[in-house]
Each structure stands twice: as structure tokens, then as C-alpha cells.
Amino acid sequence: MDTESLFEILIREHAGVLDVYLKSAVRDPGLADDLFQDTVLTAWRRLDDFDQQRPFGPWLRGIARHVVLAAVRRGSRAVALADEESLEALEARCLRLHRQPGDTLDAKLDRLRDCLERLDAPYRDAVRARYEEELRGARRAERLRTNAERAKKLVQRARRQLAVCIERDTAPEATS
């Protein structure tokens, strides 16, 4: 298999996590798409620098981090996570996700969806309003028929419950 074909396979394998990483780092989905393209092009140009003894995903996200920080330096207003520390924390979460059982991002997302369905309705609705409908502040509170502070707390508590559910489902005894 030639280098270009292998690169395409690696990019397809890591595209989902890269997309999540970039959309977590910037406010504008269009900018995230542009940064995705910039990351892939840079990775292709720098493929000779890739150490094949190391994982591809962290190397690719390292390039993405530099691409995001370049957007920050250019003064892009659509960048939400504007510092190294936030991007490092995001990378740490990506690495933890990678270490969880499941071969693909899709398998991990299926596990998340299953845990989401197990949440009590108020928490499930709060997560959907926040992440699927992308409602913020007063609009989310209105959709949930509550005040903004309670809507925020519902999402925070739901996220904690989801983390516990996913960890419980991926514990060694759950996978054997």
C-alpha cells in the first residue's frame, strides 16, 4: 500500500476525534471545518516528521493545536479556547477517550448515547437542549421551562452522571 493510501486511512480513522477536538476549540463550525482542512494539509506536508513508533492521533491533534493557536494569533473572534492550557486539557480528554474500550469513535458514541438514554428525563432533555439544539442561557432555560441557573445545573449534573455511566460500562468487569 502506498503512503497516500495509508495516510487517507489514518485520517479517516482519526477524523471523528479531530473534528470533536476542533469543534470544542472554536465557536464557529465553519472555522472548525477550515481548521480541519489546514490540519490535514499540514499533516500531509509534515508526514516525514511523524514517528511511526508513536500513535498518530496525538500527533495529528498536536498539529491541530498549532493551527488553532495560529488562528488565535491572527485575532480570530470565533476561537473559544484561546490558550495552551485549555487545549492541553482538551488533548488529555481525547487521550482518555482513546484509552477507553471500543475500537472506534462510533462505538464510544454508541455507549454515550446508551448512557444518555438511561438518564432521567430532565437531565436527558437538558443535555439535548445544550448539545443537540445548541441552546444557551435564557433560550435553554425557556426550552426546559426553568430558570437559567437551574438549566445550567441540570447540564452539569447530567454530565457527571454520564461520566459515571461510561466509566461503569467500560470497567474491566463490564467488558469481560
Q: Which residue has the cell 487517507?
A: 8
Using alpha carbons, select from 107, 11, 27 the residue that is nearest to residue 59.
11
According to DSSP, residue 164 is labeled H
C-alpha cell at 72: 488565535
Type of residue found at 47: L
* Residue pair 21/63 in contact by the 8 Å Cβ criterion: no
Is residue 49 within 8 A of residue 66, CB to CB? The reply is no
How confident is the model at residue 175, as a pLDDT? 45
- Residues 110-154 have pLDDT tens digits of 888 899 999 999 999 999 998 888 888 999 999 999 999 999 999
> What tens digit of pLDDT does each residue of 54-96 get?
888 889 999 998 999 888 888 766 666 556 777 777 777 777 6
Q: Rounded to 5, what percent of the chain is helix, strand, coil? A: 80, 0, 20
Q: What is the pTM of this model?
A: 0.56
What domains sit in the chain, N to C, each tagged with a CATH number?
A: 3-99 (1.10.1740.10), 105-175 (1.10.10)
Name the strand (E) or helix (H) holding 87.
helix 84-99
